[in-house]
C-alpha cells in the first residue's frame, strides 16, 4: 500500500485558554476525496489552517507526501503543490475572472505578476481558458469578480486554486451558497480532479448531499476532537454522528 498523501499526526491548536483542535490524527490517501465535517466551531478550519501552514499547531506534526511540513512557511506550500480556498473569499474583486485565474498561475510562471496579466504566454492562456471552462464560468470570462454572485465567486476561487497545478486541493466549504446546478457541477468537477487528474482533495463541507456523494472517506470532528471516521455509508449510520448533528 502506498503511503498516505496527507498525515495529520496528533495536532493540537490552542488559542489562549481555548483548545480549538485536540490531539487530532487522520490520513488522506493519494488521489482520493476526504471530507472533514462537524458542527460549527468544531475546529475544521483551524485544522485546514495547520495543513496549509497559516497556523502553527501547538503540538503534533503534519506530513505531505512523506515530508514533514509542520514548520514550513505558508509561502513554501505552493511549491509543494498545495492549493487552498478560503471560507471567506479572497479574490481580486476589481479584476476579471480571467485575470484572477491568471494570477493563480504565478507560482509556476517565470513572468512577473504585471507581465502575466498583460502578456501571458500561449500555454498559460490555454490553461486559464480550460480551467474557466471546467468550473463553468466561460460566459463570465471578462466579468469583474465582484460582479459575480457568491456561488460563482466560489467556483472562481477553485479555478484560481487549480491554476497552481496542485497535487493537494484544500477546499473550505466550497458548496456553501451554491445553487443545486452549481453543486452538481462541483460534484462532477471534484470527482474528475481526483479520479482523472490524481489530485488529492480535502474539503470541509456542510452540504451533506455533496459530502456523501463524492467522499471516499469522512472524518467527523466535534469540539476539536475526532468523533468518527469512515466511508460515507459508515458515517451516515453512526449513532454518535447522528447525535452530534441532531442533539440528544
Applying CB under 6 A, does 57 fall inside the site for ligand ADP? no
Provide, rounded to whole angstroms, the least separation between the CB of residue 51 and ligand ADP.
Answer: 12
The nearer residue to Mg ion, 3 or 18, going by C-beta atoms, is 18
Task: Indicate which single residue of 32, 46, 85, 219 sits in contact with ligand ADP (rule: CB under 6 A).
Answer: 46
Q: How far is CA 63 from CA 139, 190, 233, in A?
A: 40, 23, 28
Provide, rounded to whole angstroms, the least separation between the CB of residue 13 and ligand ADP.
Answer: 8
Helical axes 97-104 vs 150-162, angle rounded to 10°: 30
d(CA 133, CA 101): 12
Q: Which residue is nearest to Mg ion (CB)?
A: 45
- Sorted by sequence, the CB contacts under 8 Å of residue 203 that are 6+ apart come out as 33, 34, 35, 36, 170, 171, 172, 174, 190, 211
The item of ligand ADP, Mg ion, none sharing an interface with residue 15, based on CB under 5 to 8 Å by kind, is ligand ADP
Strand ranges, E, within the chain: 6-15, 18-28, 33-37, 59-64, 67-68, 82-84, 168-172, 200-204, 217-222, 225-230
Applying CB under 5 A, does 85 fall inside the site for Mg ion? no
Q: How many residues bind ligand ADP (CB under 6 A)?
A: 11
Applying CB under 5 A, does 45 fall inside the site for Mg ion? yes
Applying CB under 6 A, does 23 fall inside the site for ligand ADP? no
Residues that bind ligand ADP (CB under 6 A): 15, 18, 20, 38, 40-46
Applying CB under 5 A, the residues found at the interface with Mg ion are 45, 87
Amino acid at each position: 500500500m502506498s503511503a498516505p498523501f496527507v498525515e495529520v499526526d496528533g495536532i493540537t491548536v490552542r488559542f489562549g485558554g481555548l483548545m480549538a483542535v485536540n490531539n487530532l490524527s487522520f490520513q488522506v490517501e493519494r488521489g482520493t476525496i476526504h471530507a472533514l465535517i462537524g458542527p460549527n466551531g468544531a475546529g475544521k478550519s483551524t485544522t485546514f489552517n495547520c495543513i496549509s501552514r497559516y497556523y502553527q499547531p501547538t503540538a503534533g506534526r503534519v506530513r505531505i507526501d512523506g515530508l514533514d511540513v509542520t514548520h514550513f512557511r505558508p509561502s513554501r506550500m505552493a511549491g509543494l503543490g498545495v492549493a487552498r480556498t478560503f471560507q471567506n473569499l479572497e479574490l481580486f474583486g476589481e479584476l476579471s475572472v480571467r485575470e484572477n485565474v491568471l494570477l493563480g498561475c504565478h507560482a509556476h510562471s517565470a513572468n512577473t505578476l504585471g507581465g502575466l496579466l498583460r502578456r501571458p504566454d500561449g500555454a498559460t492562456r490555454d490553461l486559464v481558458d480550460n480551467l474557466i471552462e471546467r468550473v463553468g464560468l466561460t460566459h463570465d470570462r471578462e466579468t469583474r469578480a465582484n460582479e459575480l454572485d457568491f456561488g460563482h465567486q466560489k467556483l472562481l476561487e477553485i479555478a484560481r486554486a487549480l491554476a497552481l497545478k496542485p497535487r493537494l486541493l484544500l477546499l473550505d466549504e466550497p458548496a456553501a451558497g451554491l445553487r443545486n446546478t452549481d453543486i452538481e457541477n462541483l460534484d462532477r468537477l471534484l470527482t474528475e480532479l481526483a479520479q482523472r487528474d490524481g489530485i488529492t482533495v480535502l474539503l470541509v463541507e456542510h452540504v451533506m448531499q455533496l459530502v456523501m456523494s463524492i467522499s471516499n472517506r469522512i472524518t467527523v470532528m466535534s469540539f476539536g476532537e475526532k468523533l468518527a471516521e469512515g466511508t460515507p455509508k459508515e458515517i451516515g449510520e453512526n449513532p454518535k454522528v447522528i447525535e452530534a448533528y441532531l442533539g440528544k
